[in-house]
Amino acid sequence: MLDVLLITFPFFALVLCGYVAARRRMLPFEAISGLNSFVLYFALPCMLYRFGASTPIAQLLDGSAIAVYLVCALVLVAFVVAVSMNRRIGWNDAAFGALVAAFPNTGFMGVPLLVALLGAGAAGPAILTILVDLLVTTSLCVALSRLDGADQHGASRAASNALRGVALNPMPWAIVLGGISSALQMQPLKPVMQTIGLLADSASPVALFTIGAVLARSQAMAAQREQAPMPLRDFVPVALIKLVVHPLLVLMVGAAAIYLGLPLAKFALTVMVLVAALPSASNVSLLAERFGADTGRIARIILLTTAAAFLTFSGAVALMR
């Protein structure tokens, strides 16, 4: 366990640094969107391309891993929506609560952390989960969020808009280009590859720092809007589902799939379980704000899962290894 904590500590420490910097206004809130844009449009796509290009194409086309992770995501979304909805929480808030419970922080935190823990082979299964969460989980939850007073046409339009947003997101395209490079055994010219390498090397520290800054900004903005303290039952159960139920669900479904003869590698299952044990994706708070959901609730879930994951994720790694 101690050797795991020694690896995970720097990652969570960088998140804390970003949180403190934004909280104490050492980093202005106005600058956070610039950091986020750098990570999203430059550094992270280069990192994902490099991992994709160096991963055997068979790992990037692992249908068994995609099927297991997708089934778990759909089950988790349905479960969280069902248990969340009440007089105060409608479709909009329940849907984004489900998204924050089913969407781990794989891009900003998971890929570099899992590669550091398990080796370069962990990149392939982790990248597959990013595609599922970006293409399916996010689109589904955005569509569900429009069911408050909307007809089926409104939900389908929301899903279409979500898919359009995915099409403009550089991360899936970086993964696809990396997969093509892997399949064709091709690389860009050396100066181009060196530029990609520099940007890729910057992705992990800047992304982790940005996660903390985004959390601090979301918490501050939510506090300004709220009139009364939020009941613990509105966000603590979702955080527990994210950190405990999600990885257990992936483990059980994956183990059942292997038992039934599905060609799923045990190493790929280990990676997916650890992906599910990651804290919630910080960009869900930006989506929630855009679609008018309760950003205070989403920010609390993300902050709680990020803080608690230092111990829960490290424990999951110790058990799965």
**How far apart, in whole angstroms, are the C-alpha atoms of residue 40 and residue 37?**
5
Q: Report domain extents, the chain.
A: 2-320
Inform me whether the pLDDT recorded for 34 exceeds 60.
yes
Q: Two tokens at 94?
A: 């329940």
Measured in degrees and rounded to the nearest 5, phi and psi for residue 280 equal: -65, 150
Q: Shortest CA distance to 288 belongs to which of 277, 280, 276, 296? A: 296
Q: Two tokens at 90?
A: 């409608």
| Whether the Cβ atoms of residue 223 and residue 294 lie closer than 8 Å to each other | no
Return the exposure string of 122-142: e unless at least 16 CB atoms fall within 10 Å of the residue's CB, then b: bbbbbbbbbbbbbbbbbbbbb
How distant, in Å, are the alpha carbons of 59, 108, 245 from that of 315?
26, 20, 14
Residue-averaged pLDDT of the chain: 87
Q: Which CATH number fits domain 2-320: 3.40.50.1820, 3.40.50.300, 2.40.30.10, 1.20.1530.20?
A: 1.20.1530.20
Inform me whether the pLDDT recorded for 294 exceeds 90.
no
Q: Shortest CA distance to 158 belongs to which of 296, 41, 287? A: 287
Percent of the chain residues past pLDDT 70, beyond the cut: 92
Of 291 and 240, the structure prediction assigns the larger pLDDT to 240
Measured in degrees and rounded to the nearest 5, phi and psi for residue 104 equal: -75, 165
**How far apart, in whole angstroms, are the C-alpha atoms of residue 81 and residue 275?**
21
Q: Shortest CA distance to 293 belongs to which of 3, 69, 90, 74? A: 90
CA dihedral 293, 29, 310, 13 (to 10 degrees): 170
Inform me whether the pLDDT recorded for 248 exceeds 80.
yes
Q: Shortest CA distance to 50 belongs to which of 173, 193, 204, 170? A: 193
Over residues 198-206, mean pLDDT = 92
Q: Is the pTM of this model over 0.95?
A: no
What is the tens place of the pLDDT at every residue in 267-278?
999 999 999 999
pLDDT band at 296 (very low <50, low <70, confident <90, very high): confident
What does the chain come to in residues? 321
Measured in degrees and rounded to the nearest 5, phi and psi for residue 228 equal: -140, 155
Rg (alpha carbons) of the chain, rounded to whole number: 19
Inform me whether the pLDDT recorded for 98 exceeds 70.
yes
Over residues 124-146, mean pLDDT = 89
Interacting residues of 26 by C-beta distance below 8 A, sequence separation 6+: 20
Strand partners, 280: 104
**How far apart, in whole angstroms, are the C-alpha atoms of residue 222 and residue 277?**
26
Q: Shortest CA distance to 164 belongs to which of 144, 125, 138? A: 138
Inform me whether the pLDDT recorded for 46 exceeds 90.
yes
What is the tens place of the pLDDT at every residue in 152-189?
555 666 666 666 666 777 888 888 898 899 888 888 88
Q: Shortest CA distance to 309 belongs to which of 215, 172, 220? A: 215
